[in-house]
Structure formats: structure tokens, C-alpha cells
Structure 1
Amino acid sequence: MTKNAIVLGAGIVGVSTAIHLQRRGRQVTLIDRKDPGNETSFGNAGLIQREGVAPYGFPQQLGLLLRYALNNRIDAHYHLRTLPSQIAFLARYWWNSNARRHAIITRAYAPLIENSIAEHKDLIEASQAEGLIRKDGWIKIFRTEAKRDQALAEAALWQNEFGVEYDSLTSADIARMEPDMTGDFAGGIHWRDPWSVLDPHALTSAYRRYFESLGGRFVTGDAASLGPFGSGWKIMTAEGPLEAEDAVIALGPWAAPKTPVQLDRAEAVARTIFPLGGRLDPEPWMGARPCTPDMMPVIGKAPRHQGLWFAFGHAHHGLTLGPVTGRVLAELITGETPFIDIAAYSPQRFNP
């Protein structure tokens, strides 16, 4: 008898997981309150970041912490009234970002990143989505020589340990490669390995169509209605109640009301560099990022529930890690040995 599976969350992680389960003989129903790819997977930078082997750590230098405390930066913003409730999380995040611990976490995290391109390639070709992909990497530029030199030193370490490829760029290189940019830049890095997705929502939609071509179904439903039923799980959907032996939680985060402070700050800077026109969307897209204090995703079996599986917590690498996460979790659910070691991402690490 074919076993049924429910995947809750139709972003890139959920859709990829549904594909890999369907490929392995499960009858899968993908469930979300919206059509696939309409939340965090709708926008983002569209990068499959093969170079992103090191998770974003919490600042360790006192001077940098003080600058963040001013709450006027582009890359971070906090609400003072909610800060007390986040102290425990931030303390654990800071502790895990110590140089020694961060290096250990990076080595545990790297196998996911190292397989991100290959696993996307599989699904891109299967879904005939090659037209959405560019394979020319991406460029990071620097205004000061100190920042440039620090980044190049780190890039050399990553190349040696994790095999990422890059080129060092001079200011003249940047002017030649990006003639429409204006500004005084000290140089940059061209990461050669990453792929760019021209439309992340369109890619997720292509993966959804491929999933359906395999026999999978998408229905709308409320994740909050999921509950145990016999030896499996039951959920209410637009088509009525649905039962399955296994349920995968790939919902990402629940967000607070939109406060596009950082977007406004970034736009002001971007307009000094690029000849931008007016905004195209009536309301800015904002992708909520599900982060964990040890900077690694949560992939594996729920510690206290049979047939319940987790696939979330990918922070800024959800698009990058969707297909590789889907594969390893589907392998685990169906009794295969995952093709990479995923012990470091186990939900059990939060329940010692």
C-alpha cells in the first residue's frame, strides 16, 4: 500500500521536500494557506549561494556591537520594546558566534552548501526551468581597503577548505564589469560558483508543476489544524479532512507586522550607486527569516512525535538549501541513509 505524506508549507523547502518524497513512492499532498512560493520564497536576492559556507554570526567586537546598538544600520534593525524577550536567544547566538565555535558550526554547515548547486540542477532540469537561471556568480564590492583585504583573506581560507572559487577585483575591474555604477570603490570579490535565479517565485512555481506531474497534489489548508490521528496525522483542508502517516513541517517563521526600515535605508544608498527609477510594487515584499541560535537549520524527526518531521530554520539560505534539504529529509523519512551527514541539524540538539 502506498503511504501518504503531508508537507505543510509550500515555499522552496516544502516544495522540494514534496518532490523528493513523491519520487520515492509516497503519495504527497502539499498544503499552504497561499499558492506555492508566495511568502518568503516570492522575492529575495535570488542567489543559490555555493560560496555561503559560513553562517552569519553575531558580532563579537565591542565597537561593532556599539554601532549596531545605535539601530541605524542597513543590515540589522530591532524594536526596543521587544528586545527583553529576545535576550536569551541573542545570548545563545552570540555565544555560538565565538570564533572557535563558529568554525565548528561552519564545518558542520558546509555539506549542505557544497551540494546546493548540484541538487538545484537536478530539479531545474527536471522542471525545465533553465531559462530562469544565470551561472555567472555575483560580485561584492568594498568602499575601503581594510574591508576588502579582510574579505579577501577570508575568501582564501574558504577556497582552501571548502573549494569555493573567486576572483579579486580592482576598482578598474568593477568599472569595466558594471559601467552603470557610480562611486569610489576600493575593489571587490567576484564569487564564481553561485547561480542567480531571475525570478524566485517562478522557480518555486516550476518546481510545483513538476511535483504535480509526478502525481503530487497541492491544496489550501490551515497548518494550525494539524493534529495526531491514530498512528498518523490529520489536517483540515479546503477539500475536507486529510490523513497521512507522515507530516513534514516546512513553514518557516510567522512574521510580525511589516516595518520596512532597512529597505528604505538600503534604497537610499542604492540610489547613490545605480540609476534607479521608481518603485514597481505598490507594497514592498518582505521575507521573514527563520533563524536558530546556532545558525543551522532544523532537519529531521520531531523528538517526541512519531511520523512528524521538521525542515525549517534556514535563515538567509532557504532558496539555496531547499532542494538539498528536501532530498536528505525524504531519504530519512523513507528509511534511506541520507547522502550527507545531517546529525548536526537534528531537532534533538534542542532536547539534550
Structure 2
Amino acid sequence: MAELKADVLVLGAGMVGVSAALHLQARGRNVVLVDRHEKAGEETSYGNAGLIQCCSVFPYMLPRDLTKLFKYALNRAPEVHYHLNALPGMLPWIVRYFLNSSPEGALRSAMAALPLIQRSLTEHEALIAEAGVPELLRRMGWINAFRSESTLAKGIADLERHRAYGVPGDVLDAAAIAEQEPNLSTDFAGAIHWTSPGFVPDPGGLAKAYAALFIRKGGRFIAADARTLEQSDRNWRVAGPNGALVARDVVVALGPWSDQVFRPLGYNIPLKSKRGYHIHLAPSGNAVLRHPVLDADRGYLLAPMNRGIRLTTGAEFALRDAPPTPAQIERALPIARQTFRLGNPVEAKPWMGARPCLPDMLPVIGKAPRHKGLWFDFGHQHHGFTLGPVTGRLVADMVTGVTPFTDPKAFAAERFG
């Protein structure tokens, strides 16, 4: 069988991998994009809130509030759920996550990611324009709504913290919420309208549009098993359907499945998954939702997707491949129906996906320390959809020897030893 040769293999066709392939292609590299699915954006990139979070300076760290942690321990918090049988394997990772969630650790991670967050929407806008899909970007921001004065006060304090980094936002009282979203219930004390983020009403569709752009520009997209990756002489090889796929460089962008490639190569990077769920429902009657709305005190988000109103959940700590347990959907749905007039589900069962996370909530981006031509681009935590294009630019800079637009040291695999 004939070999298919390229300059770079990019493993993974989610938002992160497709974006890396496009940026490498733009620098003149012959790129083959590899995924186990025949279409892009079929996994984690499909099941998110559709937000390009250029306002999220501070990552999702583990809270240090003892009351909240006690609720988590009881496994009854709406925003967090865990599997008891997963705790022994995840506990060392959770301890590292807790230690990195100190005020000093959170600030350190935030400042490292800030150049990526600040460029995230700009990079998406450029690719959306080139892909010819302007209808997939709405400049409306999103609303973080609070049910009590105390949680609203914390939300306002968070807004002030973000304003110090140039992030705009408005404080809404109950009347202003009703003006923005007349079909929401009146149970909210107030809200923060984060005005700068973009919203994409079909996240998986945007990943597919980027992949179509990649193919139009001469790229090749091949369904193959990335786990067959091996180094041979000076090249990397993956078993393809019609022969080996061969390239000098390979970028691992497999999200929560990246460990299936880097662990056999001897890397002990502490990658874990936070699982999440969503379900689409039709709006009831003539009810209209204009913005994505987070019910901050109840731990779910409603987003007006093309398929219907998408209800998304918080984080589930479980083994990546364990059977779905959509307890958070079951808890949130009755509350959501009281908040917005929801009709019947559009799909038969909730969708489940996994967010790839490192304990400092920063991705791994850059050269593998012990293998020539091996590059990493994974672990984007809750922001893979947001950061895919900008980290694609960063990894492409590094692969092609261009001076990176920001110091990548904080994202190096070596930080884990």
C-alpha cells in the first residue's frame, strides 16, 4: 500500500486541531488532518455553550469556599457532580487542582493565558470571514444572572476584577434583565451582561466550516486511528485506510484523548477530563431567548442554538469513558422550565462530552521534550472552542520556527516534570 506523505500530521479534528491545521497550512506546510470521525467537530467542540469567551480572563479554578466545597462533597450541587468510583484515580489530580486554585495560582494561570484570551475573538473573526460563514457569529455577549443579592454582589466584584484587564460589561437590575430577555422569569435579583464575547449558534458547524476551508485550500482530511502513531527514522507514521500517513512533524490535538498518544511515548502529563452534558429543547409557543443565559445559582446555561434551546450543565468528575449519568440535566431541567418556557426535547437523550483539563487550567502547547518533530496542543479546559484558533497560531509559529506572538513557556509540557 502506498504511503501518503505530508509535512505535518495534525491528530484531532476538533476546534483545536482544525485551527492548528489551518495555521500550519497558511505558513506553507502540507498538512494532513486525522480524526477517528469522518467529519470535524463531532466530540467536545460540538457540545459547548457556543461562546467565544474573550472576557474570561480568570480560568475555572476549584472554589475555596468551605460551604460550597461541602455541597460538592454531598454530590448535590447543581454545577458539580462526581462518580464515587472515579475519586481514587482522580484524587491526586484534584489535590493539585486545589493547590493551583489558590489566589496566587489562579492569578498566575490567568496572566499566562491572558494574551490568548485577548486574541481569541479576533482569531475566530479572521477564520470565519475566510470560511465565508458570517452567519455563525453573533456579537451579543452573554448574561450571567443571579437569584440573590449576595451572589449578585460577588458577580459585580468579578466584573470589577475583569474591568482591570479591559473587559467590558454591564450590571443589569431586574427591569433591565426583563428588557433584554422578556421571556425569562422575574426571579433574578440582577445580572452581569458580558458584552464582548461572540456567540456561535452551531459550534460543531463552525468546526466543520473551518475544516471545509482547510480542504478547499488543498488540505487532506483522513479518518484514521491516531493511536497507531509511531516514530520511524526521522518521520512519524499513522496507519491510514489506504496506507501509512507519513510526516516529519505531528501535532497531538486530541483533547481528552491525547493521553492515548502521549502516554505510550513515555509522557506522564496529568491530563484529566471534566465531563459535561447538554440537551436541546424547542421553545414553547412564541418564547424567544436572545442571549445565552447562565443561571449562576442553579448551575446550568441556556443558549439559543440553531437546533433549539441548548441546556448545558456544569462539570462531572468521572472516568472519561464511563457510561453517561446525566443527573445534572435531570436536576436542572425542572428549574429551567420555570425560568424560560421550554417545550419538548429535540433529541432522544442528552449528549455527553469531556473537557480536557490540566491541574493549573492551562493547555499544553509546544514541543515534546524527548521526541523530535512531536508537538502538543491539548488541555484547553473549558475554553477549547474559544482558544482553538489562537493556540493554532501559537503552535504553528513554533513548528515553523517563527517567533511566537507570546511567550509559550507557561504552556510547556516540562512544567509537569
TM range (shorter): over 0.9
What does residue 110 of structure 1 align with? 114
Question: What is the CA deviation profile of residues 138-161 of structure 1, one whole-angstrom value per residue up to 9, with x for unaligned ones?
Answer: 11100011111111112112111x
Instruction: Give 1:43 shift.
Output: 2.4
What is the CA–CA distance in structure 2 between the aligned matches of 1:327 and 1:229, rounded to whole Å?
27
Q: Is the 8 A contact 2:141 2:195 kept in 1?
A: yes
Matched, 1:320 2:402: no
The match for 2:231 among 228, 233, 246 is 228
What is the CA–CA distance in structure 1 between the aligned matches of 2:40 and 2:242, rounded to whole Å?
17
What does residue 149 of structure 1 align with? 153
Which stretch shifts more, 101-110 or 273-282? 101-110
What is the CA–CA distance in structure 2 between the aligned matches of 1:266 and 1:303, rounded to whole Å?
44
Q: Is the 8 A contact 1:4 1:246 kept in 2?
A: yes
Which stretch shifts more, 249-258 or 219-228? 249-258
- Read off the aligned partner of 2:206 and give its amino acid letter: L
Please give the secondary structure, in 2, of the residue aligned with 1:209: helix
**Unaligned residue ranges in structure 1 (runs of 5+):** none
What does residue 258 of structure 1 align with? 324
What is the CA–CA distance in structure 2 between the aligned matches of 1:22 and 1:239, rounded to whole Å?
23
Matched, 1:76 2:80: yes
Matched, 1:21 2:87: no
Instruction: Give 1:3 shift.
Output: 5.8
What is the CA–CA distance in structure 2 between the aligned matches of 1:52 and 1:267, rounded to whole Å?
26
Instruction: Give 1:266 shift.
Output: 2.1
Q: Is the 8 A contact 1:222 1:237 kept in 2?
A: yes
Q: Is the 8 A contact 2:33 2:220 kept in 1?
A: yes
The match for 2:409 among 337, 343, 350 is 343
- Superposed structure 1 runs of 4+ greater than 4 Å apart: none
The match for 2:213 among 190, 197, 210 is 210
Instruction: Give 1:287 shift.
Output: 2.0
Please give the secondary structure, in 2, of the residue aligned with 1:234: strand
What is the CA–CA distance in structure 1 between the aligned matches of 2:408 and 2:166, rounded to whole Å?
20
Root mean square deviation, CA, Å: 1.2
Instruction: Give 1:97 shift.
Output: 0.4
What is the CA–CA distance in structure 1 between the aligned matches of 2:402 and 2:213, rounded to whole Å?
23
Which stretch shifts more, 189-198 or 178-187? 178-187
The match for 1:67 among 60, 65, 71 is 71
What is the CA–CA distance in structure 1 between the aligned matches of 2:371 and 2:325, rounded to whole Å?
36
The match for 1:181 among 169, 179, 184 is 184
Instruction: Give 1:348 shift.
Output: 1.3
The match for 1:89 among 84, 90, 93 is 93
Question: What is the CA deviation profile of residues 176-202 of structure 1, one whole-angstrom value per residue up to 9, with x for unaligned ones?
Answer: 111111141110000010000010111
What does residue 278 of structure 1 align with? 344
What is the CA–CA distance in structure 2 between the aligned matches of 1:105 and 1:251, rounded to whole Å?
22
Question: What is the CA deviation profile of residues 7-46 of structure 1, one whole-angstrom value per residue up to 9, with x for unaligned ones?
Answer: 0000000000000011111110000010111111112100
- Read off the aligned partner of 2:329 and give its amino acid letter: L
What does residue 195 of structure 2 align with? 192
Instruction: Give 1:237 shift.
Output: 1.3
Question: What is the CA deviation profile of residues 105-147 of structure 1, one whole-angstrom value per residue up to 9, with x for unaligned ones?
Answer: 1111111111101111110111011111100111110001111
Task: Name the one with the larger helix percent.
Answer: 1
- Read off the aligned partner of 1:253 and give its amino acid letter: P
**Unaligned residue ranges in structure 2 (runs of 5+):** 258-319
Please give the secondary structure, in 2, of the residue aligned with 1:294: coil
Please give the secondary structure, in 2, of the residue aligned with 1:318: helix
Count of residues in Structure 1 that have an aligned counterpart in Structure 2? 349
Q: Is the 8 A contact 2:174 2:186 kept in 1?
A: no
Instruction: Give 1:72 shift.
Output: 1.3
What is the CA–CA distance in structure 2 between the aligned matches of 1:33 and 1:104, rounded to whole Å?
36
What does residue 269 of structure 2 align with? none
The match for 1:300 among 334, 344, 366 is 366
Matched, 1:120 2:124: yes
Task: Name the one with the larger strand percent.
Answer: 2
